[in-house]
Amino acid sequence: MTSLQRAEAAEHALSQELDRVVVKSVIYTSGEHDPTKPMPRPPDQGKRYLMSDDPRLPKMPDKPTLFDFFRYRFGPSAHLCQSARLAQKSGASEKVVLACLLHDIAILGFIRSDHGYWSAQLLEPYVDPEVAWSIRYHQALRFFPDEAAGYRYPELYAKLFGPDYTPEPYIHEAHRYARNHKWYMTSRLITVNDLYAFDPGVKVELEEFTDVVGRHFRQPAQGLGFDSSPSAHIWRTIMWPTRYL
Ligand SMILES: [Fe+2]
Ligand SMILES: [Fe+2]
C-alpha cells in the first residue's frame, strides 16, 4: 500500500464509525485526486450526510470568539505570538502588534495559497482598515527586500523555493502598489517582525494579547460566523469544514 492508500483506508475505517457520511470538498484533495473526476465517496449504507458539527472536531461555543477559533480550529500559533511579541518589544503601535498576531491566520486555519488575501478578508469586518490592508500586502512584501526598513529577503524562502524563484506577476504588481501606499510601513513592519528563527525556549501565550485584541478587534456579539458580516461564511466554513452543503 502507498501512504495515500493507507491514509484512505484509515479514513474509510473512520467514516464507517461515524454515523454520518462525510464527503470531502474538492479543494481538500485537488492534486492528490484529479479534481475533474468524480470524488470517490464512502458507501453511505443508508446513512445520512453530515450537515452540522463534525464529531471528530472539538465542539465550538455557540458564540465563538476569535480566541475560540485559535483554541479549537487553528494550528499552533507560536509563530504569530512570537511575531507579535517581537513587534511589541520593538515599541511598535498596538495596530502593528495586532497585525503581526493575525497576519497568517489563513495558514493556521484555512488555506495557505494566497494566505495574505484570505487572512485580510477574514479580518476586514472586525479590524481597522489599515490592519487588514497591511495583512493583505505582507504576502507580496515578503518577497521584496527593503534594507532601509531593516528587511532582507528571507533565507528561508531561498531554501524553500530555491534561489531562482520569482513570484507571479500579480505579486510584483501588488508590491509596486503597496510600496507607494500611505500604509506601506505598517505592512512592511509585519514582514520585519515575521521571523521563523525563534528561540525554542521562549514561550509566548495567546492570552498575553487579550487586551490588544480586546481594544482593536470588534468581536461580534452573535459570535464570529453568525454576524452576517461579509466574511461570516468563511468563519463558518472553518468551524464546519466537512458539512455536505
Ligand atoms: Fe505570511
Ligand atoms: Fe508569518
Nearest bound ligand to the CA of residue 119: 1
Q: Give the least confident one: 116-125, 133-142, 182-191, 195-204.
A: 195-204
| Ligand 2 centroid from CA 244, angstroms | 32
Residue 31 DSSP class: T
Nearest bound ligand to the CA of residue 142: 1
Which residue did the predictor score with more confidence, 75 or 200? 75
Task: Give the confidence band of 17 by pLDDT, cuts at 50, 70, 90.
Answer: low
| Ligand 2 centroid from CA 240, angstroms | 25
Q: pTM for the complete prediction?
A: 0.92
Selection from 161, 162, 142 nearest residue 153 by Cα: 142
Nearest bound ligand to the CA of residue 195: 2
Nearest bound ligand to the CA of residue 100: 2
Q: What is the largest CA-CA distance in the chain?
A: 64
| Ligand 1 centroid from CA 50, angstroms | 33
Q: Over range 67-91, report the average pLDDT.
A: 95
DSSP letters along 165-191, please?
A: ----HHHHHHHHHHHTSTTHHHHHHHH
| Ligand 2 centroid from CA 100, angstroms | 8
Residue-wise pLDDT for 140-199, tens only, equals 999 999 999 999 999 999 999 999 999 999 999 999 999 999 999 999 999 999 977 666
| Ligand 1 centroid from CA 138, angstroms | 6
| Ligand 2 centroid from CA 124, angstroms | 18
Predicted local distance difference test score (pLDDT) of residue 40? 77
| Ligand 1 centroid from CA 30, angstroms | 23
Predicted local distance difference test score (pLDDT) of residue 203? 85
Predicted local distance difference test score (pLDDT) of residue 173? 98
**Is the pLDDT confidence value at 114 over 70?**
yes
Predicted local distance difference test score (pLDDT) of residue 19? 83
| Ligand 1 centroid from CA 39, angstroms | 31
Predicted local distance difference test score (pLDDT) of residue 10? 62
Q: Over range 65-78, report the average pLDDT.
A: 96
Predicted local distance difference test score (pLDDT) of residue 123? 98
**For the chain, percent of residues with pLDDT exceeding 70:** 93
DSSP bridge pairs for 49: 21
| Ligand 2 centroid from CA 195, angstroms | 7
| Ligand 2 centroid from CA 12, angstroms | 35
| Ligand 2 centroid from CA 224, angstroms | 23
Position of cell 471528530? 56
| Ligand 1 centroid from CA 22, angstroms | 31
| Ligand 2 centroid from CA 73, angstroms | 18
Predicted local distance difference test score (pLDDT) of residue 222? 98
| Ligand 2 centroid from CA 196, angstroms | 8
CA distance 100 to 123: 13
**Is the pLDDT confidence value at 229 over 80?**
yes
Residue 146 DSSP class: B
| Ligand 1 centroid from CA 222, angstroms | 29
Position of cell 474509510? 12
- Cell numbers standing for residue 68: 475560540
Go through the chain and tell me how many residues it has.
245
